[in-house]
């Protein structure tokens, strides 16, 4: 039954029998046999297949079994580690989803130190916007989610680990008067924005609505780096994380205005409730909190 469950998980995640077989080093007939055994055992259809088996559709019963199977495999892995008492040798693999700002500006340095300390933990990072990360974690295709702001789902445990300030950013302007700055000049500006579903876009939308600003034009870009480069090259202005703007300000690429505490947000990690957290996941989170705690102390 255990091998059948592992096969079923792979089929759901890859949405393809052949790719699932390649991942598990099984032939396609073996994959089909495992799925049929599960369907016979539970007496339900788990996967609907097209005539040529090129497209598959997971049934409601299939998704229920998938979530439970993930819990079972995770619990077995955790139990194995505890029974073997491998506290001094952490091993495992992690799938971590990170929103753009965290994935691009926080994780690279953290992963360098984490990987050196825990070389036997394989970490796979998926960078996307907050909405997509939450959706993937809800489907249990990720072990951990690292997001900006709050999760829309009550089925997650959420804990803050780092504070972030949102900054109003302009092309580099040596004589920008930050002390006497007025929002009135923002009325006739083009804005560079992230896509809907990103945490950064939520704050920008809030800023425009609160200050009753109607943009002269909007350019939508899919990454913080692209937004920063567009502003740097005088295509418009934006609101974006200080983790993006600080290096650019030092390099005289951008000028910024601090928007105050109303535009402070938190980065947080999210985990599915009622799921046993693996030892590798717990170590990852403990190290991340320690790393970002030191990061906070170094900030002005």
Check whether 78 has a pLDDT greater than 80. no
What percentage of residues in the chain have a pLDDT greater than 90? 42
| CA–CA separation, 247 and 67 (whole Å) | 42
Q: pLDDT tier at 247 (50, 70, 90 boundaries)? A: very high
Lowest mean pLDDT among 8-12, 47-51, 55-59, 200-204: 47-51
Domains of the chain and CATH, by start: 2-82 (1.10.10.10), 91-162+265-298 (3.40.190.10), 164-264 (3.40.190.10)
| CA–CA separation, 289 and 300 (whole Å) | 19
Q: What residues pair up with 191 in beta bridges, in sequence order?
A: 218, 237
Per-residue burial over 42-71, b if 16 or more Cβ lie within 10 Å, else e, is eeeebbeeeeeeeebebeeebeebbbebbe
Q: Which residue has the higher pLDDT, 84 or 141?
A: 141
Residue with tokens 């030092």: 250
The model's pLDDT over 135-194, given as tens digits with 9 standing for 90+, comes to 999 888 899 999 987 788 888 999 999 999 999 999 998 887 777 788 888 888 999 999
Instruction: Find the mean pLDDT for residues 49-63.
Output: 78
Q: pLDDT tier at 19 (50, 70, 90 boundaries)? A: confident
| CA–CA separation, 213 and 138 (whole Å) | 35
Lowest mean pLDDT among 77-91, 111-125, 213-227: 77-91
Check whether 81 has a pLDDT greater than 70. no
Instruction: Find the mean pLDDT for residues 53-78.
Output: 82
Query: DSSP labels for 88-132?
Result: TS--EEEEEEE-HHHHHHTHHHHHHHHHHH-TTEEEEEEE--HHH
| CA–CA separation, 98 and 205 (whole Å) | 22
pLDDT of residue 57: 84
pLDDT of residue 87: 47
Cβ-contact 149, 202 below 8 angstroms: yes
Instruction: Find the mean pLDDT for residues 209-222.
Output: 92
């Amino acid at each position: 039954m255990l091998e059948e469950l592992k096969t079923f998980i792979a089929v759901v995640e890859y949405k393809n029998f052949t790719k699932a077989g390649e991942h598990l080093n099984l032939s396609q007939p073996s994959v089909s046999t495992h799925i049929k055994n599960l369907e016979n055992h539970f007496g339900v259809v788990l996967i609907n297949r097209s005539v040529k088996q090129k497209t598959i559709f997971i049934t409601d019963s299939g998704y229920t079994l998938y979530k439970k199977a993930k819990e079972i495999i995770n619990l077995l892995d955790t139990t194995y580690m505890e029974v073997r008492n491998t506290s001094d040798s952490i091993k495992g693999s992690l799938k971590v989803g990170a929103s753009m700002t965290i994935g691009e500006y926080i994780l690279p340095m953290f992963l360098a130190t984490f990987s050196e300390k825990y070389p036997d933990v394989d970490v796979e990072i998926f960078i996307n916007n907050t909405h997509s990360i939450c959706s993937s974690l809800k489907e249990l295709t990720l072990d951990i989610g690292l997001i900006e702001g709050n999760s829309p789902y009550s089925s997650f445990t959420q804990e803050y680990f780092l504070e972030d300030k949102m900054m109003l950013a302009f092309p580099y302007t040596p004589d920008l008067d930050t002390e006497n700055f007025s929002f009135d000049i923002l009325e006739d500006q083009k804005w560079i924005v992230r896509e809907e579903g990103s945490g950064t876009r939520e704050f920008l939308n809030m800023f425009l609505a609160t200050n009753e600003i109607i943009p002269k034009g909007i350019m939508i870009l899919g990454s913080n780096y692209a937004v920063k480069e567009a502003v740097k090259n005088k295509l418009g202005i934006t609101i974006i994380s200080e983790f993006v703007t600080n290096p650019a300000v030092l390099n005289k690429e951008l000028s910024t205005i601090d928007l105050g505490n109303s535009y402070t947000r938190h980065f947080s990690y999210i985990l599915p409730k009622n799921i046993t957290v693996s030892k590798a996941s717990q170590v990852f989170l403990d190290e991340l909190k320690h790393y970002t705690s030191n990061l906070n102390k170094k900030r002005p």
